[in-house]
Amino acid sequence: MAENKDKVYAVVHSGSRLIPAGIPGIAWNALLAAWIAFGAQTLLKIAVFVLQPIYAEEFGLSAFVVLLFPMLFTFLQAPLSPTLSHRTDRLGGGFSRRHMTIMVSMLYALIASLIAFKSISSTAVMFMILVIVCALLLGPGEPLVCAMAADWFPMEHRGFALGFHHTGYPWGSFLGGLALAYMLSVWGNDNWRFTFLILSLPTLVVAIWFQRTITLKNQRLLIKASADRGFHTSVADERLPSEVQVKEEKLSMGESIKLTLGNPTQLTMVISGFFICGSYWVLAGFLPLYIYYVGKYTAAQTAAYAVFFTLTGGLGQIVWGALSDKVGRKFAFIVIFAWYVVGAFFLKEYALVSLAALIGTQIFLGCATNAPYPIYYAVVYDVADRRIKGLGMAFMDVAFYAGALLLLLTGALIEWGGGKTSPTGYYWVIYMLMIIYALNIFLVLFFSRETKGWFYKKDWAVVSRASSNIPEL
């Protein structure tokens, strides 16, 4: 076990600082590329959500039907994620994730651009078909760039790297919301389609960046530079218990799935991720409708005011991602979930009292809305061996995307509460969110093992470390 303590497991390597210092430039370069890529993906994702009031009016859709758009868009990001991500695991990740990432990124950007042409997206059905095709290609992009962030940054600061990387989502959402508000105010609501083409353009930059940065040559430079500075990289140094007794063999898809879902900690992350991320889609889906129909703001104002929670959403990811390296992943989850329950209560009671209250409640709630996601990925990366790291990330994403099914319940609650102009259904949705977060505190506490931090040895889990692929230190 002495060797394990020195070198083998990620879990024994916790950075001594919250903000990393002395990291090789190539690691930062790759992390920034993955970060911008994630932000660029988000620009398109947020458009489907915040433009709901406009296309609901144009196509004459009810609250339930309009919420089917973000629901299907999100849910259908799942099907191709495991297969395409797992293909990039076969050479141990790293440089081998580049080509797939470029292909899916550029293809979804091109499909999204087609929405801009009115002759192609003139009906609700055609618009939905384009949104669905876009979602199928957009889905694998997320686990690929997340795995890239974890592959290329020293494992000592994995929580920080994934937390920083994941700010691409909320801050991309925020920028996307502001950009949409600006474009709608300049071009008018009737020209909402053009925004999809404009928001797909940053993906071009990312594709060129990946093509130049994520290479085998740079991977070798990274390994050498990291070792020179006393850091460890996942692509060169990490060995988990499930890898120690085996050669560098490839696993079939079936074996990989068995290894992934047979790990109780990983399975708990998947189940919890389904409900928690589903709650995020619920918030992102119902908030524009709530602000537009109940708060009586304009469509452009709604596009801007519905994304304020993402400001602190990004900060929460960096802070909690980095803190989870020190205090532990599970402890971080529990504090975040409890915070959300309080924030959701404030949202229900005060959000529509005034504009300041709308922004203030979102700022408070935002500290907990996005923070869990990098920690889910970090736990999975902590316990999944290198043959299935990409697949592990993809399973998290499948759970996250499948969580969009909660939007069906959201639409139904709004309809049962009196339709999209009545506040009652929206309040029921907020109560649903509070219950989900409260229950997840117990789910994570009892059914997953701590992988780092203060409570590594004093854990309340009912599942064993061995079954979770975590070493006994």
| Residues forming the site for another protein (CB under 8 A) | 91, 95-96, 98-99, 102-103, 106-107, 109-110, 113-114, 116-119, 122, 187, 190-191, 194, 197-198, 200-201, 204, 207-208, 210-211, 215-216, 248
Q: What 3-state DSSP class applies to 56? A: helix
Q: Nearer to another protein by C-beta: 80 or 436?
A: 80
Residue 117 Cβ vs another protein, minimum distance, rounded to whole Å: 6
Q: Nearer to another protein by C-beta: 372 or 390?
A: 390
Q: Nearer to another protein by C-beta: 105 or 440?
A: 105
Q: Nearest Cα to 18, choosing from 326, 368, 316? A: 326
Q: Nearer to another protein by C-beta: 220 or 326?
A: 220
Q: What burial class does residue 460 get, using C-beta atoms within 10 Å of its C-beta: 0-12 exposed, 13-18 middle, 19+ buried?
A: exposed
Residue 192 Cβ vs another protein, minimum distance, rounded to whole Å: 10
Residue 355 Cβ vs another protein, minimum distance, rounded to whole Å: 31
Q: Nearer to another protein by C-beta: 195 or 448?
A: 195
Residue 48 Cβ vs another protein, minimum distance, rounded to whole Å: 19
Residue 155 Cβ vs another protein, minimum distance, rounded to whole Å: 21
Q: Nearer to another protein by C-beta: 7 or 212?
A: 212
Q: Nearer to another protein by C-beta: 98 or 420?
A: 98
Q: What burial class does residue 21 get, using C-beta atoms within 10 Å of its C-beta: 0-12 exposed, 13-18 middle, 19+ buried?
A: exposed
Q: Which residue has tokens 């990393």?
A: 20
Measured CA to CA, the distance from residue 72 to residue 77 in angstroms comes to: 8
Q: Nearest Cα to 319, choosing from 307, 306, 304, 332? A: 332
What is the dihedral sign for C-alpha 320, 363, 418, 435?
Answer: positive
Extract the tokens encoding 430: 């907020």
Measured CA to CA, the distance from residue 259 to residue 338 in angstroms comes to: 31
Residue 395 Cβ vs another protein, minimum distance, rounded to whole Å: 25
Q: Which 8-state DSSP code applies to residue 247?
A: -
The secondary element (H helix, E strand) that includes residue 6 is none
Asked if residue 255 lies in contact with residue 246, where contact means CB atoms within 8 angstroms, the answer is no
Q: Which 8-state DSSP code applies to residue 91?
A: T
Asked if residue 438 lies in contact with residue 341, where contact means CB atoms within 8 angstroms, the answer is yes
- CB-side exposure of 271: number of CA atoms within 13 Å? 15
Q: Nearer to another protein by C-beta: 102 or 269?
A: 102
Residue 427 Cβ vs another protein, minimum distance, rounded to whole Å: 39
Asked if residue 291 lies in contact with residue 297, where contact means CB atoms within 8 angstroms, the answer is yes
Measured CA to CA, the distance from residue 117 to residue 96 in angstroms comes to: 35
Asked if residue 166 lies in contact with residue 321, where contact means CB atoms within 8 angstroms, the answer is yes
Residue 84 Cβ vs another protein, minimum distance, rounded to whole Å: 14
Residue 61 Cβ vs another protein, minimum distance, rounded to whole Å: 20
Asked if residue 407 lies in contact with residue 414, where contact means CB atoms within 8 angstroms, the answer is no
Residue 247 Cβ vs another protein, minimum distance, rounded to whole Å: 9
Q: Nearer to another protein by C-beta: 206 or 433?
A: 206
Q: Nearer to another protein by C-beta: 120 or 335?
A: 120
Q: Which 8-state DSSP code applies to residue 7?
A: I
List of residues 6+ apart from 188 with CB closer than 8 A: none
